[in-house]
Chains A and B, each alone.
Chain A
Amino acid sequence: MPAVYLVSDNIYSPIGTTTAQNFERIKQGGSGIQQHNKLALSNGPFYASLFNHDEVKNHNSLNCSIFEDLLIESIEQSLSGIELDVTDDKTIFIVSSTKGNIGLLETNGSDPDLEERIAMHTSAKLVAGHFGFVNQPLVVSNACISGIMAILAGARLIQSGRYENAVIAGADVITKFILSGFQSFQAISAEPCKPFDENRTGITLGEGAATMVLSSNSKYADRIKVLGGAVSNDANHISAPSRTGEELCGAIKRTLSMAGLVSEDIDLLSAHGTATSYNDEMEAKAITLAGLSLVPANSLKGYYGHTLGAAGLIESIVSIQSLKQNLILPTLGFEKMGVSNPINVCTALTPKRLKTCLKTASGFGGCNAAVLFSK
C-alpha cells in the first residue's frame, strides 16, 4: 500500500487562524475558553471557546452559513502556497461534522427548503463548488470520532488507489441545540474543563475548524506520515463509555499492529480527555491496557473546549506540530490525578525528541478511534 503524507494543514479557531498561530498561543498557555452570557445559547452564563461570528469572513456570494464559512476559511488557508492541483479527479474532498448547519433549525425555521439546506451533503457540495473539487464529496458524521474517522477514510481511499489526494476539513458551530443537549445530560462543567483531574466536572464546548491535505505523491515523502488507524465499538451503551476500556484499547492495538509498532514506540499520546468523569476514567483504563500508561499524554480540551466534529482534526494537527518542534504541550486544567489507572499526564512544556504520536477519541454510540502519525 502506498504511504500517505501530510502535505499541509490549518487550524482555524478562536485562538488563531493558522496552525502556527494556534501552536504559539497554546505554548504561551492561551485558551479560547471564556465565560459567556448569550441568551441565544443559554439562559445562564456558561464557559465555551467561541468565535466572534462577526469576525469570521462571510462568503456572501455563496449564501454561506457560519458553518460553511468556517470550512471555507480553513480550507483556503490549507491550500494556499501548496503545489498540488486538488481540482482534478484524483482528489477526494471529505467533510467532518457532528451537527453542521443544525443552527438553522433555530434561526430559519420558516424556510421551505430548510431540510435540504441543513443536510450536510448540501454544505459539502457548496464548499466543493467554491474550490472546484470535481468528485462527489464524502461527509463523515460519526459523533465525536468524526475527525479521526475522516482522516482514516481519506488515508484508506488514497491507499486503495482510488484517489491520490484528500482534502479533509472539519467544523462545528456551538448552537443552543448542542449546548442545551449537553446541559440536559448534566455534562457541562461550571468552570473551564479539567481533563483527567480529580475535580473535573464535565466538558466545555468549543467552536473550530481544521483541514488536512493528504497525498500519496512521493514528492512529499519527507513530510509527516499517516501510519494508520482503527475504529471500534463498545457494544455496551449509546451514551456511556465502556466500563473496561477494552474496546478503545482494541482500536489502539490494531493501529499499532497495522503500523508494525509496539507500545514502546509511541512517543506522545493525544487523548480525547473530555473531562467528564466517565470518559477520562475509561480512557485511562484503555491506555493502561494498551501498555501506554507511561507515555507522555495530554488532552487539548483546556485550550479549545470540545470542538466535536473538528476535534480529531484540530488535536491531530496540534500534536503533529508537537512532533515537528519536539515539544510536548501541557494539559491545561489538569492539577491532580483523578483517574484510577494513573497515566502520564503532561503538566509543563516539555522538550523531547519525538517521532510518533497516537491520537485517540471516543464518542456517543459507543464509538472509539485511534490514528497514528510519525515523522
Chain B
Amino acid sequence: MYIKSRITSNCTISKNVIYKNEVPVFENRGADLPAFLLSAYQNFGLNYPRFYKMDNLSKLGWLASEVLLKGSGIKHYEPEEAGIILSNANSSLDSDKKYIQSVSDIPSPSLFVYTLPNIMIGEICIRNNFKGEDAFFIFEKFDAAFFETYVSNLLENDVLKVCICGWVDVLDDDYKAVLFLVERQETEDGIPFSEKNLNNIFDNLIIDKI
C-alpha cells in the first residue's frame, strides 16, 4: 500500500494567540512575551517544573509542542522513531544578548546553556522521550520547500516515522512559532505534507478567512 506523509496536527503561536489546527485556543493580548507564555502554561494546566528554567525560545517551542501533541497518537511510536527538525532566523540571539550582559559581571552557566538554538529541541525531546533524528537550521524566512524535501526524505527512508518540524523564532518582543506534526500513515487523517500546505498554515491564510 502507498503510504503518504501527512500533516496530522499543527500549532501556531503568534501575536499573543495560540492556534491548534487553525482554531484559536488561547489568547492573552497585551501581555509581554514572558507573561504571555506563563499565562498560556497556566491556562492549559501544564505541570512541568523545567518550564520555569527555560529561556523564551525554549518556552515558546516547548509550549507549541505541547499544544501540537495534545490528543495525538505520539505515544504509539518508539523513541527512536520520533524526531524534531526546526528552523528560525535569529538562532538563540535573544538569549545570547542576555548572556553577554552577564559576562561583564559573573558569566552565568544557566544563561550560557541556552545560547544554542537546538537546546529547544533537547527540551522537547526530554519531555516526550524522542530519541530519533534532530536538526536545527537557520533561514532568513521559513523555507517550506526545504522542509518538504528534507523531512519527506527522512520519513520515506525510514529514518523517522513521525517528525515535528517548523519554525520557532524569538528576538525581544518579536516572536513566532509554527509547528507541524508529520506522520507516515495509511489513513486520510490530516492534510498532505506539501510546500503549499506548510506555507498556507505558516502564513495564516486559512485563519485569516475565519
The segment from A23-31, A60-68, A173-181 that touches chain B is A173-181
Q: Does B144 sit at the interface, judged by CB under 8 A?
A: no
Chain A, Cβ-Cβ closest to B90: A119
Interface of A is mostly: mixed
Within 8 Å CB of B136, what residues of A?
Answer: 140-142
Within 8 Å CB of A121, what residues of B?
Answer: 89, 138-140
Within 8 Å CB of B93, what residues of A?
Answer: 115, 118-119
Using a CB-CB cutoff of 8 Å, which residues 228-257 of chain A contact chain B? 230-239, 247, 250, 254
Residues A143 and B153 in contact, CB atoms below 8 Å apart: no
Q: Does A162 sit at the interface, judged by CB under 8 A?
A: yes
Chain B, Cβ-Cβ closest to A236: B126
Q: Does A183 sit at the interface, judged by CB under 8 A?
A: yes
Q: Does B108 sit at the interface, judged by CB under 8 A?
A: yes
Q: Does B97 sit at the interface, judged by CB under 8 A?
A: yes
**In the bound complex, CA of A254 to CA of B133 (Å):** 11
Q: Does B123 sit at the interface, judged by CB under 8 A?
A: yes
Q: How far is the CB of B23 from chain A (nearest CB, A)?
A: 30
Residues B91 and A365 in contact, CB atoms below 8 Å apart: no
Using a CB-CB cutoff of 8 Å, which residues 47-97 of chain A contact chain B? none
Residues A247 and B134 in contact, CB atoms below 8 Å apart: no
Residues A98 and B103 in contact, CB atoms below 8 Å apart: no
Chain A, Cβ-Cβ closest to B171: A115
Residues B134 and A233 in contact, CB atoms below 8 Å apart: yes
Q: How far is the CB of A174 from chain B (nearest CB, A)?
A: 14
**Given A115-B171, A121-B140: A235 and B130 interface contact (C-beta under 8 Å):** yes
Chain B, Cβ-Cβ closest to A251: B133
Within 8 Å CB of B201, what residues of A?
Answer: none
Chain B, Cβ-Cβ closest to A246: B131
Residues A153 and B140 in contact, CB atoms below 8 Å apart: no
Q: How far is the CB of A285 from chain B (nearest CB, A)?
A: 16
**Given A143-B116, A180-B103, A181-B109: A233 and B135 interface contact (C-beta under 8 Å):** no
Residues A162 and B116 in contact, CB atoms below 8 Å apart: no
Question: Mask for B72-97, Cβ within 8 A of A = 1, else 0?
Answer: 00000001100110000111010011
Within 8 Å CB of B132, what residues of A?
Answer: 232-233
**Which of B91, B119, B143, B149 is in CB contact (< 8 Å) with A136?**
B143
Chain B interface extent, by class:
35 or more
Chain B, Cβ-Cβ closest to A121: B140
Q: Does A265 sit at the interface, judged by CB under 8 A?
A: no
Chain A, Cβ-Cβ closest to B86: A142
Within 8 Å CB of B123, what residues of A?
Answer: 238
Q: Does B5 sit at the interface, judged by CB under 8 A?
A: no
Within 8 Å CB of B122, what residues of A?
Answer: 233-235, 237-238, 364-367
Q: Does A156 sit at the interface, judged by CB under 8 A?
A: yes
Within 8 Å CB of A230, what residues of B?
Answer: 133, 159
Q: Does A184 sit at the interface, judged by CB under 8 A?
A: yes
Residues A235 and B116 in contact, CB atoms below 8 Å apart: no
Within 8 Å CB of A136, what residues of B?
Answer: 139-140, 143
Q: Does A171 sit at the interface, judged by CB under 8 A?
A: no
**Given A232-B131, A235-B79: A366 and B126 interface contact (C-beta under 8 Å):** yes
**In the bound complex, CA of A153 to CA of B151 (Å):** 11
**In the bound complex, CA of A262 to CA of B150 (Å):** 27
**Which of B83, B106, B113, B131 is in CB contact (< 8 Å) with A238?**
B113
Looking at A99, A120, A235, which has the most chain B CB atoms within 10 Å of its CB?
A235
Residues B138 and A141 in contact, CB atoms below 8 Å apart: yes
Q: How far is the CB of A127 from chain B (nearest CB, A)?
A: 13
**In the bound complex, CA of A299 to CA of B189 (Å):** 48
**Which of B83, B97, B112, B153 is in CB contact (< 8 Å) with A184?**
B112
Residues B99 and A141 in contact, CB atoms below 8 Å apart: no
Q: How far is the CB of B59 from chain A (nearest CB, A)?
A: 13
**In the bound complex, CA of A28 to CA of B143 (Å):** 46
Within 8 Å CB of A122, what residues of B?
Answer: 140
Q: How far is the CB of A159 from chain B (nearest CB, A)?
A: 8
Q: How far is the CB of A320 from chain B (nearest CB, A)?
A: 23
Within 8 Å CB of B89, what residues of A?
Answer: 119, 121
**Given A120-B91, A156-B150, A231-B135: A143 and B118 interface contact (C-beta under 8 Å):** yes
**Given A177-B96, A184-B109, A185-B109: A237 and B126 interface contact (C-beta under 8 Å):** yes
Q: Does B34 sit at the interface, judged by CB under 8 A?
A: no
Q: Does B125 sit at the interface, judged by CB under 8 A?
A: yes
Q: Does A289 sit at the interface, judged by CB under 8 A?
A: no
Question: Mask for B132-166, Cβ within 8 A of A = 1, else 0?
Answer: 11111111100100100110011000010000000
Residues A365 and B99 in contact, CB atoms below 8 Å apart: no
- Chain A: residues with CB nearer than 8 A to chain B? 98-100, 102, 105-106, 115, 118-122, 124-125, 136, 138-143, 149, 153, 156-157, 159-160, 162, 176-177, 180-181, 183-185, 230-239, 247, 250, 254, 363-367
- Chain B: residues with CB nearer than 8 A to chain A? 79-80, 83-84, 89-91, 93, 96-97, 99-100, 103, 106-109, 112-113, 115-119, 121-123, 125-126, 128-140, 143, 146, 149-150, 153-154, 159, 171
10 pairs from A and B in contact (CB 8 Å cutoff): A140-B138, A141-B136, A153-B150, A157-B149, A181-B112, A233-B130, A234-B122, A235-B131, A236-B126, A363-B118
4 cross-chain pairs, A with B, having the tightest CB-CB distances, nearest first: A365-B122, A181-B112, A139-B138, A184-B107
